[in-house]
């Protein structure tokens, strides 16, 4: 799972989502919930940045937050509380974007800034 997290944190969301999906097959219990949530977030960010998706990204992030909510503050050495807070803030940021805006310089500039503020998966220190 370490390589999937590294790819996620580098912004390689499609690759990370595929890796999380493979990891989830061999996991169970809380770890499976966590990995499935990471997969949803990676898919959401891929949709947002590569396809300009708004509502689908919001939906996937919301699903991941629901799954992670009771696992906070940390599990499996992962700082889920921080990730949850970042997901919440990022989801709100996406919600403020205009519906139907999928192209143009303004949209590309917004996505550039959003990418810089995208949530990261951190280890507990």
Mean local confidence (pLDDT), 46-51: 89
Q: Is residue 122 part of a domain?
A: no
- Structural domain boundaries enclosing 23: 2-116
Position 100 pLDDT exceeds 70: no
How much is the pTM?
0.90
Tokens at residue 90, please? Answer: 């990022």
Mean local confidence (pLDDT), 10-37: 96
Q: Is residue 124 part of a domain?
A: no
Q: Report the pLDDT value the prediction gives residue 102, as an integer from 0 to 100.
A: 63
Helix H, strand E, coil C: the string for the chain is CHHHHHHHHCCCHHHHHHHHHHHHHCCCHHHHHHHHHHHHHHHHHHHHHHHCCCHHHHHHHHHHHHHHHCCCCEECCEEHHHHHHHHHHHHHHHHCCCCCCCCCHHHHHHHHHHHHCCCCCCECC
Structural domains counted in the chain:
1
CATH number at residue 105: 1.10.3450.10
Mean local confidence (pLDDT), 19-24: 97
Q: Is residue 7 part of a domain?
A: yes
Rounded Cα gap, residues 43 and 121, in angstroms: 14
Q: Is residue 111 part of a domain?
A: yes
Position 30 pLDDT exceeds 70: yes
């Amino acid at each position: 799972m370490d390589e999937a997290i590294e790819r996620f944190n580098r912004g390689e969301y499609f690759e990370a989502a595929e890796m999380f999906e493979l990891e989830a097959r061999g996991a169970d219990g809380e770890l499976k919930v966590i990995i499935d949530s990471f997969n949803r977030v990676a898919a959401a960010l891929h949709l947002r940045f590569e396809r300009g998706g708004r509502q689908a990204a919001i939906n996937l992030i919301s699903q991941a937050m629901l799954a992670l909510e009771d696992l906070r503050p940390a599990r499996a050495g992962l700082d889920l509380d921080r990730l949850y807070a970042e997901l919440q803030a990022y989801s709100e940021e996406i919600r403020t974007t205009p519906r139907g805006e999928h192209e143009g310089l303004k949209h590309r500039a917004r996505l550039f800034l959003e990418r810089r503020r995208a949530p990261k998966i951190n280890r507990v220190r």
